Structure 1
């Protein structure tokens, strides 16, 4: 009943703006209510492209269909999809969310006669909680006075689709200011005209401002009212060139990576990375370039989703799958594109990890026979060979260097999963298993992300199950295992890891409960033999997936500058 009643209110609101339903053509509006997640309360709601979906609430929340601003928000996503169709990525995605917030709140305050001066008028979802007061319950506040260059959260595409929720109130706040100053009926007509007649899918914040200002002129607004609009956007920092105020100390290799699964890899001066269309949609392509700069070359751009590129500096290997998600392939090609791509492997099972060195290509994939992930190795034109042949032993995350392959060895023992790196000699076919780091508290340790270099194997390990990981190192013959960075209460929460024989690089989630630029992942380095950690870059946004070159050189995905860029830096910043 809540969803049905709310949908009627939203329909009537948009009919007052001259629109007949979400699609503008009187199409049926569908709502699904009382949704759970794996049988547990689902405290959220969303538009899935065809219908509204509402969580049914639970001990802490009412049904999400019971909040008219939430209903208006989700239904406005349908209006947006059938008008400007703002891409749900980065700044255009933040505008998508911001407009849904604006109209959702506008519908609620008008329906219930709430004055704009009410401190709760600008809150979204403030009535959903059963125990918390509105200000603590609300998901967002359109009166939070955020300013673009000061408050933009530099999330990469793998975090909230590039900050679509995190940065939405920068744009919606400007519109809400206009509504507070010029009145709801007038401001809503302006926002609706801008959305449906002037905005386009890839608009950024400044484009959105231009759309609103163009709509004001088309509506014949006075110079004074148009100045009110301009002042609102100025106060939120949405001005031409505002991104230049987001200072960085890195050098951009590719501006605007849109593939949410992008992971760069580096060997010597060469890098590879996957990328999608400007709208972030598949199929995706494989790009290769040089860390010193220049235009990247496209190694693959077909109708498949190409992902997980790796390189040894001379050739590139990558995986791909089709739209039906039932055909997975491994490909290889010279990094300079001097020869066509060749098919290395094909299977209905997903390829999850990949490594290349000379004539050797390794990957991990699920094996239906063993019902476990296994490591496969292919040399030249020979058939691939399964490395993890021992019964009950699985393998993930292959990495190759100096004629040896390392991977994370997994097995069950005593009702628990055990893990430790193993090293396979490519020439002799022999394998050594590095002794498992002892766990504490009755549980085995957890090994993640082994990396082999010319002399050593490095890996991250959590010995006590607290989610913090230390860093260990051993010789490639399995001897000399020791901590480079001790596990314990001061160890980092990692989000990525790489190493060479000079330094170890680790992406760290800083401590802090409040989501802000200071608590988004940052890259730290320390000597390969252990010692003090230092910052690789002072960029204030997310420093995401990265790959190590020689010495301290890194390439990584960075969200500081208002979108996701592939950037590089040759030497550490040390202190920020």
Structure 2
């Protein structure tokens, strides 16, 4: 059954910066706790933020499903709200614009896309899909517009999709040039001001996978190619820019952070994939004032590899995780990349960031030994 109260209890909410207790020890933190001990694992625990609210998926102690979706105010005031129904389904990936919460729910071989107003009202089913491995991911909501990636494992197709709540069926964004549906894809949509940024990829045996970053204006249907990209991952879009991650030759995970204007002009590499200050980036979120990534440094990658080797030999760090020197951290850049700062100096992993507007970010933090939902309104700086 879904949790009747958020994990961690109300007494831990919005503690302010300072020292908190975790697993029998005291730890220094510089972030504010919004929800202690979400107990969720992997990408299922990714939070959302918007319009002064946060959303998160939580689990019972031990992390066993089904998960439940909760929401609360970013300033820590008021009561948290249980958004998802207690119906045995697995409720994950919540996002919000401060008025509506949208999330995915899974049960057996069925996938559901659900929505509910923050001020109350019934849960609305926006669409559903059936098949082993089906999934709705990379969700976004803005007013009546909802975006997501529809993964059809049975059909072997992946499509970026948008819909207008209450105004018609979902619309799949087709790949450029058509072709075999199983060797083409659109994915990873991000939404802002009625525009959708997304990945547009095609695989051929002779050239491998060729991808573009594109922008679709929902109102006009106009589609703009912003850039060609090598195996891009997440996108993020603002009123001025599109951001995306891509790999270098021979790599297989996102490492470099790119930015361009909405029409593709003025492309910039904000964070390169190589060099002394290179970051190994996995997560991306952006606002008008900043772009934030979850990443490790190249040095941390080396330390992490040594830690894994030590674990294999029978040595483990507390909680079975790598030490602070190899943990993932949040880094925030100015939109042009001129400034780079650490969002938080917390010693644990800082993962799954979501922009809350301006320079505020919410994320999942493991400094206390639990997976806490936390926030900061300004970056911490250098973290010497």
Distance 1:330 1:461, change over 3 A: same
* Residue equivalent to 1:454: 239
CA contact (8 A) 2:46 2:57 kept: yes
Aligned counterpart, 1:380: 165
Higher helix content, 1 or 2: 1
Partner of 2:15: none
Return closer, same or farther for 1:293/1:243 CA change in 2, 3 Å cut-off.
Answer: farther
**Equivalent position of 2:340 in the other structure:** 533
Shift, 1:387, TM fit: 1.1
Instruction: Name the structure 2 match of 1:188.
Output: none
In structure 2, what is the equivalent of residue 248 of structure 1? 29
Partner of 1:427: 219
Map of 2:122 onto structure 1: 340
- The match for 1:474 is 260
Q: How far apart, in 2, do the equivalents of 1:276 and 1:468 lie? A: 29
The 1-side partners of 2:57 and 2:90 are apart by 9
* 1:400 correspondence with 2:188: no
Q: Which runs of 5+ in 2 are unaligned?
A: 1-7, 9-20, 308-321
Per-residue deviation, 1:428: 0.8
Displacement of 1:242 in angstroms is: 7.0
Q: Give the drift of 1:551.
A: 2.0
Q: Contact (CA 8 Å) 2:254, 2:282: kept in 1 or not?
A: no
CA shift at 1:415, angstroms? Answer: 3.8
Change (3 A) 1:259 1:468: closer
- Whether the aligned pair in 2 keeps the contact of 1:353 and 1:365 (CA below 8 Å) is no
SS of 1:247 mapped into structure 2? strand
User: Which residue number corresponds to residue 96 of structure 2?
Assistant: 311
Distance verdict in 2 for CA 1:290–1:431, change over 3 Å: same
**Cα distance per residue 1:488-532 (max 9 Å; x no partner):** 234211131111121111111232233312111011111111123
In 1, Cα distance between the equivalents of 2:71 and 2:57?
A: 9
Cα separation, 1, equivalents of 2:169 and 2:333: 40
From the superposition, tell whether residues 272 and 368 of structure 1 become closer, same or farther in structure 2 (CA, over 3 Å). Answer: closer
Look up the match of 2:69: 286
Q: CA RMSD in A?
A: 2.1
SS in 1 for 2:274: coil
Note if contact 1:284-1:301 (Cα within 8 Å) is conserved in structure 2: no
**What secondary structure, in the 3-state scheme, does the structure 2 residue paired with 1:518 have?**
helix
Kept after mapping to 2: 8 A contact 1:468/1:488: no
CA distance in 2 between counterparts of 1:308 and 1:508 reads 21
How much has 1:368 moved relative to structure 2? 7.1
Cα distance change on mapping 1:296 and 1:489 into 2, 3 Å = same
Structure 2 CA distance for partners of 1:278 and 1:469, relative to 1, 3 Å = same
> Mind listing any 5+ residue stretches in structure 1 that lack a counterpart?
1-201, 203-239, 438-444
CA distance, structure 2, for counterparts of residue 343 and residue 242 of structure 1: 39
Pick aligned residue for 1:296 from 77, 80, 94: 80
Runs of 4+ in 1 over 6 A off after TM superposition: none
Helix, strand or coil: the match of 2:325?
A: helix
Q: Normalising by structure 1, report the TM-score.
A: 0.54
Could you tell me how far apart the structure 2 residues matched to 1:508 and 1:241 are? 24
Which position in structure 2 is the counterpart of 1:499? Answer: 286
CA deviations 1:316-355 (Å, max 9, x no partner) are: 1101011x2x11100011123x211101001113223322
Count residues in correspondence. 328
| Structure with the greater alpha carbon radius of gyration | 1
Higher strand share: 2
TM-score with structure 2 length normalisation?
A: 0.80
Secondary structure in structure 2 of the residue aligned to 1:333: strand
Distance 2:378 2:72 in 1: 19
Match of 1:559 among 366, 371, 375: 366
Q: What is the distance in 2 between the residues matched to 1:245 and 1:363? A: 40
Are the counterparts in 2 of residues 507 and 523 from structure 1 also a CA contact under 8 Å?
yes
